[in-house]
Amino acid sequence: MSMDEHVPTPPQATKRNFLKYVLGGGLVAWVVSVLYPIFAYLKPPEEGEVEVSSIKAGKVGEFVKDSGTIIRFGNKPLILVRLSSGELRAFSATCTHLDCTVQYRKDMGVIWCACHNGRYDLTGRNIAGPPPRPLEEYKVIIQDEEISISKKV
């Protein structure tokens, strides 16, 4: 047995090994260079979203007391709630649970998500059901009856 250990590797074997690595490596590189563009293609490009910082929602009179309206903020939905007192509050309308769009429930006096019966009070706090976090609140400013909504800093 000890004799075998001292037998030098024949030059053909080293050549063969060399070719094996070159061809094998080449094959791997080829597969990667074919697959990479495909996977990169599948990943949707970042869309140049217009960064919206504030929107005009309309006149106060357009919103009835004790009601909620979904309005666009860039490409996100907001819910503008007008309380019975006449006060206006705006929250993100995207349920923090699984991305559904919430609505104002007059009968329950809460912001409600139909998908999984999640509830938020009128300060946006999650009070019942599965939502894990409160709704993000937006700043509502009224100037000459004109409502403008902006992100809270």
**Interface residues with another protein (CB under 8 A)?**
42-44, 47, 70-72, 75, 77, 79, 93, 95, 98-103, 113-116, 130-132
Under 8 Å between Cβ of 76 and 55: no
User: C-beta of 50: minimal distance to another protein in Å?
Assistant: 14
Strand 137-143 relative to strand 88-92: parallel, antiparallel, unpaired? antiparallel
User: C-beta of 99: minimal distance to another protein in Å?
Assistant: 4
User: C-beta of 4: minimal distance to another protein in Å?
Assistant: 40
How far is residue 150 CA from its own chain's centroid? 19
**CA R_g for the chain:** 31
User: C-beta of 14: minimal distance to another protein in Å?
Assistant: 41
Strand 67-73 relative to strand 118-120: parallel, antiparallel, unpaired? unpaired
Nearer to another protein, 8 or 132 (CB): 132
Nearer to another protein, 43 or 152 (CB): 43
Residue the block writes with tokens 């006449």: 86
Nearer to another protein, 59 or 72 (CB): 72
Nearer to another protein, 98 or 142 (CB): 98
Q: Which amino acid is at 94?
A: T
Report the C-alpha gap between 7 and 76 in whole angstroms. 74
